[in-house]
Structure 1
């Protein structure tokens, strides 16, 4: 059931071909909650005149929002299609630079340069523990002292519920992945019809980061909460009801007892 790095790269290239990422955060209300919650937390940290680096930017949803607010953004992605699309989207922008690059190696970018660092996709696409640490280390290296670093994760349970247990045949799907029934732990997730980018727990990784990199932990928050678990209800909400849902997500974003239901979770770090 194991999969090697080359095969993972091929899956990644297929999954994000054609600018797949461009509409992911906006095409339904349930999907949009991830963007809204993240921007809420970004606005808690960002300061006037901040210089931002968006690592693993996809097609630049956060780059677009922050550049339109007047911030200068260096935006980077690994996938050629995403880079090409961003170059088209931001060709008229005077405060966005688009690069193709790898989150593990940002040698083109100098130390202590950015007031806000976004690492919103790379860590849960990296399969090896040491690569995840390396990506966060690079993000911290380019951050200024005191700067926040937003690192996104996909925990295993919400995708397991959404893509496996809400599929047409969960029993068949679950036999195609590595799964320990006694602990409900996904050990290998590349065999299902939907590839699950998932991490069972982030505590081991975040503790290692704080031991080996000059950062401290900031808030950990759920980006979309229960939105995908009850996505049909969320997508059918009136504007007033949806606003109440967003307020609920903001109010509960840091509650540990709800964290695992969220498809996406951000751990913030602060550069020492």
Structure 2
């Protein structure tokens, strides 16, 4: 089972039609953990007067939070529904510029321009290895020397468990995806009811980036940890308990033995 670039783009356009992204990070406590953990790490790098580019911004969740702190943000997304919604949301904001653009080609944006770069969605929507490298290369190109570049990945196993094994009929769902049972590896899944944007391991990709680009690795952290695996319990937590859960996620965000339980993982690169 294989998929070409045009087919993948069509799937992407369908999946995100109707500004799907707007509520994804806020509609449950379990979902909100991804946003909270990421902002925790973003704040480690933000400095006064910083200029940020949010590539693959969705409907602007991170753009909104960062711009409301007074930072200048350029927000780019490929999907026209997301771009339209961001223009509505940020129409009166003097410190936010919204563009429709492709993470693979940011030619409108000059080299060495941004103090912090977010690439929070494009890499896991790109299923070709070289395209993933190209997207990261473009993000690094527009970053200033010493700037952090946040690159998000969706690891394979947490979404496989959440969307396939916790579905109504896992045995039937798993027949519809490219899946090697002996190694539990997803190879492709364009026919399942939920399209998983997964990658089995990010080490090959991140090592390739470090070999070919002027960059070093910063921290790698889990954005949501075990939140989706135990989402019912997380969603039912009291405010005090939820605060403790967030503290646990922060404390364990970089633990390699827990990384695979997280739906989303970020590798921070530092431009040399």
For the residues of structure 2 that align with 1:115 and 1:213, how far apart are their CA atoms?
18
Please report how far the alpha carbon of residue 174 of structure 1 lies from its aligned counterpart in structure 2 after TM superposition: 0.6
For the residues of structure 2 that align with 1:25 and 1:90, how far apart are their CA atoms?
18
Mapped pair 1:156 → 2:156: yes
Q: Which residue of 1 aligns with 2:227?
A: 227
Deviations 1:55-100 (A, max 9, x none): 0000000000000000000000000000000000000101000000
Mapped pair 1:263 → 2:259: no
Q: Which residue of 2 aligns with 1:51?
A: 51
For the residues of structure 1 that align with 2:121 and 2:100, how far apart are their CA atoms?
14
Deviations 1:114-149 (A, max 9, x none): 000000000000010000000000000000000000
For the residues of structure 1 that align with 2:130 and 2:5, how far apart are their CA atoms?
13
For the residues of structure 2 that align with 1:199 and 1:191, how far apart are their CA atoms?
17
- Uncovered stretches (5+) of structure 2, i.e. residues with no partner: none
For the residues of structure 2 that align with 1:14 and 1:178, how far apart are their CA atoms?
21
Q: Which residue of 2 aligns with 1:177?
A: 177
Mapped pair 1:38 → 2:70: no
Please report how far the alpha carbon of residue 269 of structure 1 lies from its aligned counterpart in structure 2 after TM superposition: 0.1
Instruction: Please give the secondary structure, in 2, of the residue aligned with 1:265.
Output: strand
Aligned residue runs from structure 1 range 109-258, under 5 A: 109-258=109-258
For the residues of structure 2 that align with 1:213 and 1:179, how far apart are their CA atoms?
33
| Structure-1-length-normalised TM-score | 0.99
Moved over 6 A (4+): none
Instruction: Please give the secondary structure, in 1, of the residue aligned with 2:134.
Output: helix
Q: Which residue of 1 aligns with 2:3?
A: 3
| Structure-2-length-normalised TM-score | 0.99
How many residues are paired up?
272
Q: Does 57-66 or 1-10 show the bigger shift? A: 1-10
Aligned residue runs from structure 1 range 80-95, under 5 A: 80-95=80-95
For the residues of structure 2 that align with 1:191 and 1:158, how far apart are their CA atoms?
19
For the residues of structure 1 that align with 2:81 and 2:260, how far apart are their CA atoms?
31
For the residues of structure 2 that align with 1:231 and 1:191, how far apart are their CA atoms?
26
Q: Does 56-65 or 187-196 show the bigger shift? A: 187-196
